[in-house]
Amino acid sequence: MTDFGTRLRAAMDERGPLCVGIDPHAALLGRWGLGDDVAGLERFSRTVVEALADQVAVFKPQAAFFERFGSRGIAVLERTVADARAAGTLVLMDAKRGDIGSTMAAYAETFLRKDSPLFSDALTVSPYLGYGSLRPAVDLARESGAGLFVLALTSNPEGAEVQRAVREDGRTIGATMLAHLAEENAGATPMGSFGAVVGATLGDLSSFDLDINGPLLAPGIGAQGATPADLPAVFGAAVRNVVPNVSRGVLQHGPDTSALRSAAAAFAEEIRAAVAG
């Protein structure tokens, strides 16, 4: 399998960099006129995939919204991943896993082993047991041609108390995570497979080196207040590698498939214009 960085770059160049979340939380299911149950979960997920799989570069299912229904919810997640990947859309599993040793290895095998029913093109992971704790996921991602997105500078206000904390060497924790990722991606072309999560709501990040030769997943556009026009100011020269994530801004237009497609197309066009400008 071609490595994730190569597949992602090709998808972004062909379709634009938009990543649409698949976030079937109870309020959104209700807005769609669906029950907060497995049947509603399946209808929601199937509709999003069928409406947008030929249009967006990446889907980002939020695992928690499926896991809350137990084994039946996981079965829906498996089908959602399979359907999206079969339709040619990359799948970034938003599970934010993080642990040590054999437990981290087991999490990695769940989402990054090729024969797993939940195998995804990439996985979000948390490095706050130390970046080295992610090594089982890094190694398996390389072996499987998959990618990782490491939480570095997240859009939630609480994140700053950890990510902006300063180490003894004067470097912040967030900057340290970015430096680790730059090392993982060294020499990769057209870009590496190991990305960072960096919030689009954070304003001027010029004090951080975002040039990690890898993708930057940018949550916060739409409902959280950021707009595509903000991307160049936030990400600077690294903006071409940004994968902007929009969830509610698109999903609120369902269940009408035409409305979903129109909303995604509008965001994609705004992003293209912002990045090109």
Say yes or no to pLDDT of 90 above 90: yes
Q: What is the pLDDT of residue 121?
A: 98
Q: Which of 79, 96, 261, 272 is catalytic?
A: 96
Q: Which domain holds residue 53?
A: 4-276
Confidence of residue 5 (pLDDT cuts 50, 70, 90): very high
Amino acid at 150: V
Q: What is the pLDDT of residue 223?
A: 72
Any catalytic annotation for residue 96?
Answer: yes
Q: What is the pLDDT of residue 236?
A: 95
Q: What is the DSSP letter of 151?
A: E
SS3 for 33?
Answer: coil
pLDDT (average), residues 142-150: 98
Residue range 179-215, pLDDT digits in tens: 999 999 999 999 999 999 999 999 999 999 999 999 9
The residue written with tokens 């497609």 in the block is 261
In CATH, what number is assigned to the domain containing residue 251? 3.20.20.70
What does pLDDT average to over the chain?
96
- Is the bond leading into 17 cis (omega within 30 degrees of zero)? no
222-232 as b/e, with b when 16 or more CB fall inside 10 Å? bebebbbebbb
Say yes or no to pLDDT of 7 above 70: yes
* Number of domains forming the structure of the chain: 1
Q: What is the pLDDT of residue 277?
A: 66
Say yes or no to pLDDT of 262 above 80: yes
Q: How many CB atoms lie within 10 A of CB 26?
A: 14
Q: What is the pLDDT of residue 110?
A: 98
Residue range 16-42, pLDDT digits in tens: 999 999 999 999 999 999 999 999 999
Confidence of residue 109 (pLDDT cuts 50, 70, 90): very high
Q: What is the pLDDT of residue 222?
A: 78
The residue written with tokens 């990439």 in the block is 122
**Which ranges constitute the DSSP H helices of the chain?**
4-15, 26-31, 38-52, 63-67, 70-86, 101-112, 135-144, 160-163, 173-184, 231-235, 248-251, 257-276
